[in-house]
Amino acid sequence: MELLEAIARACEVSPSAVTDLRPASGGDISRAHTARVADRRVFVKTLQPPVPGLLAAEAAGLDWLAAPDVVRTPRVLGVLEEDLPLLVLEHLGSTRPARDHDEWLGRGLARLHLAGSESFGSPWPSFIGSLRRPRDLAEAGTDQTGTDTGMSSAADFLARCRWWPVARTAAERGALPDGTLDALAALIDVLPDRLGHDEPPARVHGDLWAGNAITDEHGHPVLIDPSAHGGLREADLAMMRLFGGFAPAVFAAYDEVHPLPDGHTDRVALHQLHPLLVHAALFGGGYGRRARDVIDRCT
């Protein structure tokens, strides 16, 4: 009954309008249900234990990714932060990928990146999985040496808002080989040279592995579970390659709309460092060693 009442509060309807609650498959940190709210089937995410601000941040990110109307995301129907935090989304039908699914995804992602962002970061709190990171450079404050780096905004954002805070968490959890933070600091020192360019911030998904790109009732792509922010578009594409699951046609279609700058293939490993650090912090295992290998190769 508690969950039904929370769904009703989030959707601003009477509790009697919420019926047919059923468990559903969810993510690593969330529990999922479907329910009927009035005449609509909905998808409901809850967190146990709660992570304050995470579901509201996901809702804000979904709305932001949907704004350019270039690739589908689930419509946000309600979000609740007090008592029992939950997120209510439209329930998507799903079918086999359409024949032109890969082209839709590649072109849609390219247009999403082209929609851009006013700045690096996000106006809402930044999470990936259950990890909280600085939302922008202002929240990040100074770098690991206690001073501003003086880098370009792209390099500064990557170092101070993505790599360093997550690496520090992973190190505190014993998930990184000894000396990795010192090695990362050395890579940060040469990062502007390694990036090789300074593109404006793109509108990125931020956690784009194959499980977060599903199909709708027409077989067309839908992006879910984002860590959305203004960031580096090569990071989205590098993560897509890290764990696989995306056909070459996706990248070819992307390049037709928004070609990547010279040298991008040499930077794939560099942009895979952040998700490897995230996985080290969250799951341990061999991800810390893989992250250290990337650091050593890129320095």
156, 207, 225, 236: the active-site residue: 207
3-state secondary structure 207-240: CCCHHHEEECCCCCEEECCCCCEEECHHHHHHHH
Start-to-end CA span in the chain (Å): 55
The answer to whether 207 is a known catalytic residue is yes
Residue whose tokens read 């879910």? 224
Residue whose tokens read 């700058």? 261
How far is the C-alpha of 53 from the C-alpha of 174, rounded, in Å? 26
User: Across the beta sheet with 18-24, what order do the strands follow?
Assistant: 18-24, 30-37, 40-47, 86-90, 76-80
CB 183 within 8 A of CB 299: yes
Q: Which residues are catalytic?
A: 207
